[in-house]
Amino acid sequence: MVSTIQNTDVKQKEADRAVVVAVTSRAVFDCGADDGDEVCEVGVAFPLLQALQRVNERLLEENPSESLLFDVVLITSDSQQQQQSSRIISSTRHHGLEISSFCFSSEEDFTESLLKNNVHLFLTTDRDEAAQASQKGVFSALLNGKVASSEQLRVVFCGDAVIRTDAEPPSASQDAAQSFWAQLGEMRRRFGMLDSPLSLVLLTSRGGRESCGTALQTLRSRGVNMDEAYSLAGAPRSPILSLLRPHFLLINHLQD
């Protein structure tokens, strides 16, 4: 059973243009036990939601009629948090989060909730959840809990996955990934080179400059231009990621 509640405090986005991002409520809020406190503590996804809102605000500053905006859906499949639905909604209002709708489902039906809400990107801290959603054709990524700032949305593309997609028959998830990449690229073009609220970074782990160049060309052919690019040539990527501190890493294969 899937139940969706629209947030009447938030102006709803245009369904045919909005970029729908679904985030698990467990990642956004740490509600703990229901001890009578109406407000939950914020979780690892809080800076991400603030960064998404910042991009929307800047897009509307540039063009008040802009319709290419992030549309955030909060997904709750945890039985304990479902019992605290009113507390979650109150916490959203208290912390000033622009969440368009709240979706409640069982753990077995959470992928159905993503499909019903036409989600373009599903973000979670649970690798199994991300894999399940990906198998259903929903592009998914794991949240990074070590983000430096909420002022700029920082997204890292795994260039190795970008190159692989041209060599393999595209899956439903890969098609969804490329569609989301194109939407991000279109958003990024709305801003100048300096003081952008959205930063796109390319990271290639294998190969040298040639692999990085191929990935850059592939992304550019899809309308996605990078702000930064790094070629690791086989070196571990953990050190550079600890410096970049992206909100999430875009890859096609969750085992990477």
Q: 138 and 56 in one domain?
A: yes
State pTM to two decimals: 0.89
pLDDT of residue 188: 96
d(CA 184, CA 19): 9
3-class state of residue 222 by DSSP: coil
Q: pLDDT tens, 145-157?
A: 776 667 899 999 8
- The reported pLDDT for the residue numbered 165 is 47
Question: Can you count the helices (H) and strands (E) in the chain?
Answer: 10, 12
For residue 141, give the nearest of 184, 100, 81 by alpha carbon.
Answer: 184
Per-10-residue mean pLDDT, the chain, length 256: 84 93 92 72 91 96 96 85 79 92 85 91 91 90 75 85 55 80 94 92 85 89 92 86 87 48
| Domain identity same for 53 and 137 | yes
Report which secondary-structure segment, H or E, holds 71.
strand 70-76
Residue 186 lies in a domain: yes
DSSP strands (E only) in 114-181: 121-124, 140-142, 153-158
User: Does residue 204 sit in the same domain as residue 84?
Assistant: no
According to DSSP, residue 189 is labeled: T
Domain that holds residue 10: 2-142
The answer to whether residue 67 sits within a structural domain is yes
What is the number of domains present in the chain? 2
Domain end call among 114, 142, 170: 142
Asked if residue 219 and residue 113 are part of one domain, the reply reads no
> Would you say 73 and 100 are in contact if contact means Cβ atoms under 8 Å apart?
yes
Each residue's pLDDT tens digit, 58-81? 999 999 999 999 999 999 887 766
If asked whether residues 157 and 138 sit together in one domain, one would say: no
Residue 62 and residue 85 in one domain: yes
Residues 125 and 44 sit within 8 Å (Cβ to Cβ): yes
pLDDT recorded at residue 161: 63
- Based on the fold, state whether residues 157 and 78 are members of the same structural domain: no
